[in-house]
């Protein structure tokens, strides 16, 4: 074709965006990516969505960081100090690599030696490779001497992971999204895969077209996926547990549980049966906003199918009752025996390209690689020996807890690699004040993000298209990504920068390539058994667990036993916990936040991608046209949206999917940042903030 003739080089890699993990080929000329094609990877089978196909030009954005920067002595710090778009560098000066790395490391070392490792913390990234995440958590644990290391899994599926580890012994999916077509019934709840995991949703739509009964359950109606659905169930925001318990009630009342499976594999069913009696659908219908007939029908459909699978997203996890929501889904799956067979199981759709892998390699405060608790002295002894450093035996702080600890003066220095908490954390002014209050902040980034703007030292790093490394997708498939273009200016590889910092604070690391790091990971992570760097180079992808060096790995797990001490799964009675902040006279609306198809997370990459930003160029919120009419609002009006945390001004768009009493705001727009408004209250188990529900008021702004 003309395009092939035009290309000079083709490099096989993976998409930098969502957890689907589509394999791509980058076609490269003059050290830039000309175009991207989908490959026949196990997760995408040649498909790509708009982000994967058109969203890689951010790597060559003129806004890339290309030299190390140090904050000027007289530059102001504070939550209200914003990036000046006309003169973004006003608060920084260029530095040599030696000066920047010395200053970065010395600041961290000074705090560690003076106040102890607990006065430091690190945020790694779910966008980086497994090797970068592993090295980063090793640096924080072995170099800083603390477990205060976390990343954005805390903001997306921490509650799902907490519930799954507690009851199944794994934090990963039990079956892949490609199994949709093997299911007779499929529930998609609290997720909009058509926007956030588009290629995964293509399997779901295909399956539904072939006869799988698709049940879509969400407070926001899902017109796009819903048109393929057997049932499109729009329930009241925050009533997930009531609805799922009502389904359980039907299953027990009508004897639809799988007694043989329960006997062989499940603990706790009698307590659950008693609890479910409190939730007859007829009693719950008004509360959840779904008729008793519908609840009974979807419960029967799910329970009686030969194979049923559940997919969920952040509509389940981002609540103060997020762990309870996930427990409720586990309850449904286990009592009906929909587990361990093709077309059955549980699949929390992972958000970022490597959020699964970053968690697996220990980039979370309570566990070492492969989810080994840091509080277990045997594991602590093992890692002290293996890493040659004294380790902290206390679980570290999570994302929101770290921000609070900065305010309390307990944490004084941070190293942030590729995360943007100034945009992604709830109650933004609180988070930005914390970053500004730090005695020493090192940010390793590819752009001058809102977080980097608060930094004392900025280390210019590598984009996904510029690095070799492995990524683990939502299906547990470990895949290899390859550098297609070089880093711009003086920017360096992230893993090498982590090593530079480590060696400056007293470590003696000598990794020469991400392959060395992967080889070390293999030694400490049984999950990587039979998955070698060489295999990945050759085969592209292998799923874990993999019990045979010739197999592609086990995509469906728990066919015999769970990863628990007695090999059995557990179901748990769950009570209704209301959202932390309910609408009232002053704040009568519900605010919910999330993503859009074209923009990814805080927008750092997609808003610097020409095609994607042209499709969705400006900040918008969404309301139902009926609600807009009621409040005298026209499409395109500007609204002032206020919560107890702050106010933003934003244009409104009519969207029939949004329930009447709700305003929905994507969190990718810095100029109208949704997280100015959100509630930092967290789920007590997963420590995830309640992004999906808080009280808000809206006012139409007068026309100029
Ligand atoms: Fe990339 Fe996800 Fe789109 Fe695939 S579905 S191309 S991984 S953003």
Cα of 609 vs centre of ligand 1, distance in Å, is 15
Which pLDDT band holds residue 398 (cuts at 50, 70, 90)?
Answer: very high
Which residue out of 40, 52, 58, 176 has the highest number of ligand 1 atoms within 8 Å of its CB and is therefore the one to mutate?
52
**Ligand 1 center–CA 44 separation, angstroms:** 8
Give residue 168 CA to ligand 1 midpoint distance, Å. 28
From residue 360, alpha-carbon distances to 363, 526, 683 in Å are 8, 11, 21
How many angstroms separate the alpha carbon of residue 460 from the centre of ligand 1? 26
Ligand 1: centre distance to CA 31 (Å): 23
| Ligand 1 geometric centre to CA of 292 (Å) | 37
CA nearest neighbour of 505 among 440, 451, 455? 440
d(CA 154, CA 25): 31
**Looking only at Cα atoms, what is the longest distance across the chain?**
72
pLDDT at 6 over 70: no
Q: Which tokens in the block code for residue 286? A: 């008004």
Which atom of ligand 1 is closest in space to residue 50's alpha carbon? Answer: 3
Residue 14 CA, closest ligand 1 atom number: 7
Which residues make Cβ contacts (< 8 Å) with residue 508, sequence separation at least 6? Answer: none
Pocket perturbation via mutation, ligand 1, pick of 198, 313, 352, 668 by most ligand atoms within 8 A of CB? 198
Which atom number of ligand 1 is nearest to the Cα of residue 38?
Answer: 6
- For 441, phi then psi, to 5°, come to -130, 120
489: CB partners within 8 A, 6+ apart: 64, 66, 67, 460
Distance 48 CA to ligand 1 centre (A): 6
pLDDT band at 4 (very low <50, low <70, confident <90, very high): low
Q: Which ligand 1 atom lies nearest to the CA of residue 197?
A: 5
Residue 28 forms beta bridges with which residues? 9, 33
Q: Which pLDDT does position 334 carry in this prediction? A: 98
| pLDDT tens per residue, range 410-425 | 999 999 999 999 999 9
Give the ligand 1 atom nearest the CA of 20. 7
Which tokens sit at 469? Answer: 């490394």
Distance, CA of 356 to CA of 506 (rounded, Å): 30
Ligand 1 midpoint to CA 466 (Å): 18
- From the list 124, 57, 42, the residue with the least C-alpha distance to 14 is 42
Owner of token pair 């995360």: 419
The CB density around residue 41, as the number of other CB atoms within 10 Å, is 23
Q: Ligand 1 pocket check: which of 25, 191, 197 to mutate, most ligand atoms within 8 Å of Cβ?
A: 197
49 C-alpha vs ligand 1 centroid, how far in Å? 5
Q: Which atom belonging to ligand 1 lies closest to the Cα atom of 48?
A: 6
- Choose one of 36, 39, 48 to mutate for the ligand 1 pocket test, by most ligand atoms within 8 angstroms of C-beta: 48
> Which ligand 1 atom lies nearest to the CA of residue 21?
7
Please determine, for residue 7, whether its predicted confidence score (pLDDT) is greater than 70. Answer: no
Closest-CA residue, ligand 1 atom 4, reads 22
Ligand 1 atom with minimal separation from the 18 CA: 2
Q: Tell me how far the alpha carbon of residue 555 lies from the centroid of ligand 1, in angstroms.
A: 19
Q: Which atom of ligand 1 is nearest to the CA of 24?
A: 6
pLDDT tens, position by position, 492-523: 999 999 999 999 999 999 999 999 999 999 99
Which pLDDT value is given to residue 351? 87
**Average confidence score pLDDT of the chain:** 95
pLDDT for the residue 703:
74
61 pLDDT above the threshold of 60: yes
pLDDT band at 187, cuts 50/70/90?
Answer: very high
pLDDT cut 70: percent of the chain above it: 99
What's the 353 CA to ligand 1 centre distance in angstroms? 8
**pLDDT tens-digit readout, 337-394:** 999 999 999 999 998 999 999 999 999 999 999 999 999 999 999 999 999 999 999 9
Per-residue confidence band for 704, with pLDDT thresholds at 50, 70 and 90: low
Q: Residue 17 CA: which ligand 1 atom is closest? A: 8
By most ligand atoms within 8 Å of CB, the mutation choice from 16, 18, 56 for ligand 1 is: 18
The residue-averaged pLDDT of 150-167 equals 91
- Ligand 1 test: best mutation among 14, 21, 22, most atoms within 8 Å of CB? 22
For residue 569, the number of C-alpha atoms closer than 13 Å in the C-beta half-sphere is 34
The Cα–Cα gap between 501 and 260 comes to: 56
Ligand 1 atom, smallest distance to 16 CA: 1
**pLDDT the model gives residue 82:** 76
**CA-proximal residue: ligand 1, atom 2 (nearest):** 18
Compute the average pLDDT of residues 585-612. Answer: 95
Torsion sign, CA atoms 334, 337, 338, 342: positive
Cβ count within 10 A of residue 24: 25
ipTM over 0.90: yes
Q: In which band, very low, low, confident or very high, does the pLDDT at 1 lie, cut at 50, 70 and 90?
A: very low
What's the predicted TM-score (pTM) here? 0.95
Q: What distance in Å separates the CA atoms of residue 400 and residue 686, rounded to the nearest whole number?
A: 11
- Counting atoms of ligand 1 from 1, which one is nearest the CA of 600? 8
- Closest to 417 (Cα-Cα) out of 65, 124, 16, 102: 124
Q: What is the pLDDT of residue 88?
A: 82
pLDDT number for residue 89: 84
The encoded tokens of residue 47 equal 């498909």
Give the nearest ligand 1 atom to 353 CA.
7
Q: Which atom of ligand 1 is nearest to the CA of 44?
A: 4
The answer to whether residue 564 scores a pLDDT higher than 50 is yes
Ligand 1 midpoint to CA 479 (Å): 14
Q: Please determine, for residue 80, whether its predicted confidence score (pLDDT) is greater than 90.
A: no
Report DSSP letters for 469-505, one per residue: EEEE-TTSEEEEE---SPPPTT---HHHHHHHHHHHT
Q: Is 576 within 8 Å of 558 (Cβ atoms)?
A: no
CA-closest residue to ligand 1 atom 6: 52
Q: Which residue's CA is the nearest one to ligand 1's atom 1? A: 52
Q: Which atom of ligand 1 is nearest to the CA of 53?
A: 6
User: Do 416 and 441 contact (CB within 8 A), yes or no?
Assistant: yes
- Ligand 1 center–CA 474 separation, angstroms: 11
**Please, what sign has the CA dihedral across residues 620, 622, 623, 629?**
positive
Among 19, 25, 44, say which to mutate for ligand 1: greatest number of ligand atoms within 8 Å of CB: 44
CB of 217 closer than 8 Å to CB of 236: no
Q: Ligand 1 centroid vs 444 CA: distance in angstroms?
A: 25
Q: What's the gap in Å between 465 CA and the centre of ligand 1? A: 15
Residue 152 has pLDDT above 90, yes or no: no
- pLDDT tens digit sequence for 680-696: 999 999 999 999 999 99
| Distance from Cα 175 to the centre of ligand 1, integer Å | 19
Ligand 1 centroid – CA 327 distance (Å): 28
Residue nearest to atom 3 of ligand 1 (CA): 49
Contacts of range 255-261, beta carbons closer than 8 Å, 24 or more positions apart: 256/299, 256/300, 256/303, 256/304, 256/336, 257/303, 257/335, 257/336, 258/335, 258/336, 258/337, 260/337, 261/334, 261/336, 261/337, 261/339
| Across 75-81, average pLDDT | 81
Q: What is the mean pLDDT of residues 534-547?
A: 97
Instruction: Report CA 214 to chain centroid distance, whole Å.
Output: 24
**Ligand 1 centroid to 351 CA: how many Å?**
10
Q: What is the pLDDT of residue 390?
A: 97
Residues contacting ligand 1 via CB (< 6 Å): 15, 17-18, 20-22, 44, 48-49, 51-52, 197-199
Q: Could you tell me what percent of the chain has a pLDDT over 90?
A: 94
Q: How far, in Å, is the centroid of ligand 1 from the Cα of 492?
A: 26
Interval 121-137: pLDDT, tens: 999 999 999 999 999 99
User: Is the pLDDT confidence value at 702 over 90?
Assistant: no
- The pLDDT of residue 5 is 57
CB atoms within 10 A of CB 626: 12
- Cα of 21 vs centre of ligand 1, distance in Å, is 6
């Amino acid at each position: 074709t003309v395009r092939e003739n035009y290309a000079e080089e083709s490099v096989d890699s993976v998409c930098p965006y969502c957890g689907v993990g589509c394999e791509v080929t980058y076609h490269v000329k003059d050290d830039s990516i000309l175009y991207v094609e989908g490959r026949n990877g196990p997760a995408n089978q040649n498909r790509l969505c708009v982000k994967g196909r058109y969203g890689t030009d951010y790597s060559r954005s003129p806004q890339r960081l290309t030299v190390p920067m140090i904050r000027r002595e007289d530059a102001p710090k504070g939550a209200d100090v914003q990036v000046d778009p006309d003169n973004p560098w006003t608060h920084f000066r260029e530095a040599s690599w030696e000066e920047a790395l010395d200053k970065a490391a010395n600041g961290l070392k000074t705090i560690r030696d003076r106040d102890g490792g607990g006065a430091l913390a690190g945020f790694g990234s779910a966008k980086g490779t497994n090797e970068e995440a592993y090295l980063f958590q090793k640096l924080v644990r072995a170099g800083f001497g603390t477990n205060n290391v976390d990343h954005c899994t805390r903001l997306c599926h921490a509650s799902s992971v907490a519930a799954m580890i507690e009851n199944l012994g794994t934090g990963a999916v039990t079956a892949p999204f490609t199994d949709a077509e093997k299911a007779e019934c499929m529930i998609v709840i609290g997720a909009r895969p058509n926007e956030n995991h588009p290629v995964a949703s293509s399997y779901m739509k295909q399956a539904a077209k072939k006869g799988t009964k698709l049940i879509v359950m969400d407070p926001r109606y899902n017109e796009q996926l819903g048109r393929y659905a057997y049932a499109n169930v729009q329930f009241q925001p925050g009533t997930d547990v009531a609805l799922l318990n009502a389904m359980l009630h039907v299953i027990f009342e009508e004897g639809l549980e799988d007694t043989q499976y329960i006997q062989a594999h499940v603990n706790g069913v009698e307590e659950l049966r008693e609890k479910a009696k409190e939730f007859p659908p007829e009693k719950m219908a008004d509360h959840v906003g779904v008729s008793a007939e519908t609840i009974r029908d979807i419960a029967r459909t799910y329970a009686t199918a030969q194979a049923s699978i559940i997919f969920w997203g952040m509509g389940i996890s981002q609540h103060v009752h997020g762990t309870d929501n996930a427990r409720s889904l586990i309850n449904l799956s286990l009592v009906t025996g929909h587990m361990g067979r093709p077309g059955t199981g549980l699949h929390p759709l992972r958000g970022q390209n490597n959020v699964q892998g970053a968690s697996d390699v220990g980039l979370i405060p309570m566990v070492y690689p492969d989810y080994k608790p840091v509080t277990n002295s045997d594991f602590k002894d093992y890692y002290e020996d293996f890493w040659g450093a004294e380790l902290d035996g206390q679980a570290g702080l999570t994302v929101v807890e770290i921000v609070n600890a900065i305010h309390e003066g307990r944490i004084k220095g941070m190293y942030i690699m590729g995360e943007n908490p100034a945009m992604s954390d709830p109650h933004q002014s609180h988070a930005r004040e914390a970053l500004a209050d730090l005695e020493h902040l090192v940010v390793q980034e590819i752009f001058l993000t809102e977080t980097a703007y608060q930094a004392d030292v900025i280390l210019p790093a590598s984009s996904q298209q510029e690095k070799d490394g492995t990524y683990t997708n939502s299906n547990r498939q470990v895949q290899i990504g390859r550098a297609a273009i070089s880093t711009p200016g003086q920017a360096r590889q992230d893993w090498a920068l982590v090593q530079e910092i480590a060696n400056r604070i007293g470590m003696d690391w000598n990794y020469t390539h991400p392959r060395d790091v992967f080889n070390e990971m293999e030694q400490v992570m049984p999950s990587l058994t039979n998955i070698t760097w060489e295999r990945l180079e050759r085969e592209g992808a292998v799923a874990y667990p993999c019990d045979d060096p010739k197999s592609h790995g086990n995509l469906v797990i728990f066919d015999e036993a769970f990863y628990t001490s007695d090999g059995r799964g557990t179901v748990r009675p769950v009570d209704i916990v209301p959202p932390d902040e309910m609408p009232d006279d002053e704040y009568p609306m519900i605010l919910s936040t999330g993503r859009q198809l074209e923009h990814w997370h805080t927008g750092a990459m997609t808003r610097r991608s020409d095609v994607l930003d042209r499709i969705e160029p400006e900040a918008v919120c969404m309301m139902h046209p009926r609600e807009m009419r009621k409040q005298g609002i026209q499409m395109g009006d500007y609204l002032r949206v206020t919560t107890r945390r702050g106010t933003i001004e934003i244009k409104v768009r009519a969207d029939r999917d949004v329930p009447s009493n709700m305003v929905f705001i994507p969190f990718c727009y810095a100029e109208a940042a949704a997280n100015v408004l959100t509630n930092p209250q967290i789920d007590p188990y997963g420590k995830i903030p309640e992004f999906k529900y808080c009280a808000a008021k809206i006012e139409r702004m007068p026309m100029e």
